[in-house]
């Protein structure tokens, strides 16, 4: 079989020479608290529900749980609109519940990471209310502007053509203050003003407050939006140029313009470096384990690399790699996967680690994007590449998107649309309750209702059923998490290539340790491969794990010169010495 790419040998140390910090080569698990586990019967997940399930996360091999926002909020954007950065949202529990969760996580040996949402607050925040009323301390906490007068109509209008991520103008008129405020997301999410040193200091205080409560780090939300271009000499903001994208003809859509003045401003990177300095200083002063920063930025590849640091100052430990979310889909060829993997590994600065994010609360589920038949293959890819693995709750079960009707839709991104177009914009289908068991409401709650509908397939697809089964998506996931603790997966070299449009093969090996070979067949037909042509394998190898529909089971011995790669199947092999 002809190889379509020159084999990539990434034999340099991937990350640091040995894993000495808790977060290195970590398995990170995103919890969407509202949908994870309801302990009090109101149909909404809560902190005590999370606490109940921490042992489960430890048992399946998770390093740290990242919780989507749990702070006091009117829930316009389900926690990403924060009214009080120092308080727990009442639906989720109390500060005592939070402290109990931290204590339990410490008992089971699991780290807790919080979602830090620095770009904006809620319009119900005391800060915003005081800003509206002209309180001198808070007057400039947000981006305010008088707007401009339309020369033809004489009417006051928004300062610029900037659009919100959730459609329509990013400027909203406030009657009390008689000015417009900027909101790059929902109207109820006014942007904070990072050109005000008081805001910068306030948000640093938020970080220190939760670090003192015992969290191990933060996932920082919506980084590219932190700064906007400064006012010009006429005290005006410039219009953004049109994108001229034929697929985005609606002037109310965010994609209608190029966001050169509202995203990725140079000061953004400095702010991330300041936050890294803050968590490092906290560690120096208070001891314990290092504190971690993870950053979310849908931006250019070059910008993501800058979030690691600038060669002098350190930035994010884990600037999320969204390539598999934004650039790879179920029609992508093997060569495309390999190209994206190589691109990241070859571009990383020295002394940092790669990371791979395949799903989150803002995107369709992995099984729905790539196909249920590929869920194990995708998890095998995630867990066997070098660096950090980030898993969204439910992906280890192969949970799928749930259809949510227009009437039941609550996501503001979709609600700002219409019955014809809402579903493509909606994030609700990936946010439905976690499927714990086959009891009523999937074991998520003892209530007779849930905030979003439970999937119809929960009786046959749930955590308890998969834990009891001899082989399941979850059992495969657990095996993968265990094997990635082996030296060859922690610090071993990666040799990867696409053999044709469907098949990816790669190896992981640290000198003096076992040789592992991974075979992924993205195609719909079986392929017989001579693996000895690509790797220094003996006549036989042992199957560590393989996709649920594979012809192989764990522990099988295979002939390496005539290995059958089943369609839509991933397999992890180890050389037999």
DSSP-assigned states of every residue in 393-459: TTTTTT-------TTT---HHHHTS-TTTHHHH--GGGSSPP---SSGGGGS-SSS--SSPPPTTTT
Kindly state the tokens that stand for 538.
Answer: 């003996």
Work out the average pLDDT over 294-323.
Answer: 96
Superfamily in which the 21-119+197-247+258-477 domain is placed by CATH: Glycosidases (3.20.20.80)
For the chain, what is the largest distance between any 2 Cα atoms, rounded to a whole number of angstroms?
Answer: 83
Kindly state the tokens that stand for 138.
Answer: 């808070």
Q: What is the pLDDT of residues 484-529, one digit of tens each?
A: 999 999 999 999 999 999 999 999 999 999 999 999 999 999 999 9
CA distance 416 to 419: 10
Domain pair 21-119+197-247+258-477 / 120-191+248-257, same fold: no
Closest by CA position to 351, among listed 382, 311, 303: 311
Global pTM? Answer: 0.95
CA distance 413 to 329: 22
189: left (phi over 0), alpha (psi -120 to 50) or beta: beta
List Cβ neighbours of 6 (8 Å cut-off, separation of 6 or more).
Answer: 497
Q: How far is CA 527 from CA 1, 500, 531, in A?
A: 10, 10, 12
Q: How far is CA 6 from CA 2, 286, 314, 447, 496, in A?
A: 11, 49, 33, 57, 9
Q: Cβ distance 506 to 336 under 8 Å?
A: no
- Residue located via tokens 């006014």: 190
Kindly state the tokens that stand for 404.
Answer: 């949510």
Which run of H or of E encompasses 391? strand 388-392
Burial of 302 (0-12, 13-18, 19+ CB in 10 A): exposed
In which band, very low, low, confident or very high, does the pLDDT at 577 lie, cut at 50, 70 and 90? confident
Q: What is the mean pLDDT of the chain?
A: 95
Q: What is the pLDDT of residues 409-457, one digit of tens each?
A: 999 989 988 999 999 999 999 999 999 999 999 999 999 999 999 999 9
Structural domain boundaries of the chain?
21-119+197-247+258-477, 120-191+248-257, 492-575
In which band, very low, low, confident or very high, does the pLDDT at 9 lie, cut at 50, 70 and 90? low
CATH fold, domain 120-191+248-257, is: Oligo-1,6-glucosidase; domain 2 (3.90.400)
Residues with active-site annotation: 221, 296
In which band, very low, low, confident or very high, does the pLDDT at 16 lie, cut at 50, 70 and 90? very low
- Give the whole-number percent of the chain exceeding pLDDT 90: 95
Q: What is the pLDDT of residues 141-165, one digit of tens each?
A: 999 999 999 989 999 999 999 999 9
- Strands 64-67 and 557-559 come out as unpaired
pLDDT at position 8: 54
Q: Cβ distance 137 to 240 under 8 Å?
A: no
Closest by CA position to 115, among listed 152, 80, 166: 80
Closest by CA position to 523, among listed 359, 315, 246, 334: 334
Q: How many CB atoms lie within 10 A of CB 502?
A: 18
CATH fold, domain 492-575, is: Immunoglobulin-like (2.60.40)
Task: Please give the span between the terminal C-alpha atoms of the chain, in angstroms, as a whole number.
Answer: 26
CA distance 189 to 295: 20
Q: What is the pLDDT of residues 221-256, one digit of tens each?
A: 999 999 999 999 999 999 999 999 999 999 999 999
Q: Cβ distance 131 to 83 under 8 Å?
A: no
């Amino acid at each position: 079989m002809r190889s379509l790419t020159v084999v990539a040998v990434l034999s340099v140390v991937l990350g640091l020479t040995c894993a000495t910090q808790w977060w290195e080569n970590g398995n990170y698990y995103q919890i969407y608290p509202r949908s994870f586990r309801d302990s009090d019967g109101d149909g909404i997940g809560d902190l005590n529900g999370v606490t109940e399930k921490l042992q489960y996360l430890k048992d399946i091999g998770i390093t740290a749980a990242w919780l989507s926002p749990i702070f006091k909020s009117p829930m316009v954007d389900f926690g990403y609109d924060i009214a009080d950065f120092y308080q727990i949202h009442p639906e989720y529990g109390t500060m005592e519940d939070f402290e109990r969760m931290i204590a339990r996580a410490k008992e089971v040996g699991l780290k807790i990471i919080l979602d830090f949402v620095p770009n904006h607050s809620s319009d119900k925040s005391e800060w915003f209310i005081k800003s509206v009323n002209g309180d001198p301390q808070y007057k400039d906490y947000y981006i305010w502007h008088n707007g401009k007068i339309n020369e033809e109509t004489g009417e006051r209008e928004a300062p610029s053509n900037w659009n919100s991520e959730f459609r329509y103008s990013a400027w909203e008129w406030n009657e009390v203050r008689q000015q417009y405020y900027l909101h790059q997301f929902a109207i109820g999410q006014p942007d904070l003003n990072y050109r005000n040193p008081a805001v910068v200091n306030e948000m640093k205080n938020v970080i220190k407050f939760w670090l003192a409560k015992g969290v191990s780090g933060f996932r920082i939300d919506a980084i590219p939006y932190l700064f906007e271009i400064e006012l010009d000499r006429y005290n005006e903001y410039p219009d953004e140029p049109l994108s001229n994208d034929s697929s985005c003809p609606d002037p109310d859509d965010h994609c209608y313009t190029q966001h050169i003045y509202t995203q990725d401003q140079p000061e953004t990177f400095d702010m991330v470096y300041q936050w890294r300095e803050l968590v490092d200083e906290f560690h120096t002063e208070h001891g314990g384990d290092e504190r971690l920063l993870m950053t979310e930025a849908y931006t250019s590849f070059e910008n993501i690399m800058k979030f690691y640091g600038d060669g002098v100052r350190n930035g994010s430990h884990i600037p999320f790699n969204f390539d598999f979310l934004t650039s790879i889909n179920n029609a992508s060829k093997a060569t495309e996967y390999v190209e994206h993997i190589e691109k990241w590994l070859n571009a990383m600065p020295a002394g940092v680690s790669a990371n791979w994010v395949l799903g989150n609360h803002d995107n369709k589920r992995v099984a729905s994007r790539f196909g249920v038949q590929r869920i194990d293959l995708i998890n095998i890819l995630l867990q066997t590449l070098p660096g950090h693995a980030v898993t969204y709750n439910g992906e280890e079960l192969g949970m799928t998107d749930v259809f949510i009707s227009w009437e039941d839709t609550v996501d503001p991104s979709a609600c700002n649309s219409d019955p014809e177009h809402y579903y493509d914009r909606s994030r609700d289908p990936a946010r439905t309750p976690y499927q714990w068991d086959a009891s009523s409401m999937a074991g998520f709650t003892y209530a007779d209702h849930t905030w979003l509908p439970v999937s119809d397939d929960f009786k046959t697809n749930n955590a308890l059923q998969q834990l009891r089964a001899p082989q399941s998506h979850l059992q495969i996931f657990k095996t993968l998490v265990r094997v990635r603790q082996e030296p060859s997966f922690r610090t071993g070299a990666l040799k990867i290539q696409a053999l044709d449009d469907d098949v990816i093969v790669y190896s992981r090996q640290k000198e003096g340790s076992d040789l592992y070979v991974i075979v992924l067949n993205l195609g719909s037909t079986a392929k017989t491969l001579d693996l000895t042509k690509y790797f220094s394998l003996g006549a036989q190898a042992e199957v560590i794990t393989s996709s649920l529909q594979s012809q192989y089971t764990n522990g099988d011995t295979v002939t390496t010169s005539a290995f059958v790669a089943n369609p839509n199947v991933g397999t992890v092999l180890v050389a037999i010495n």
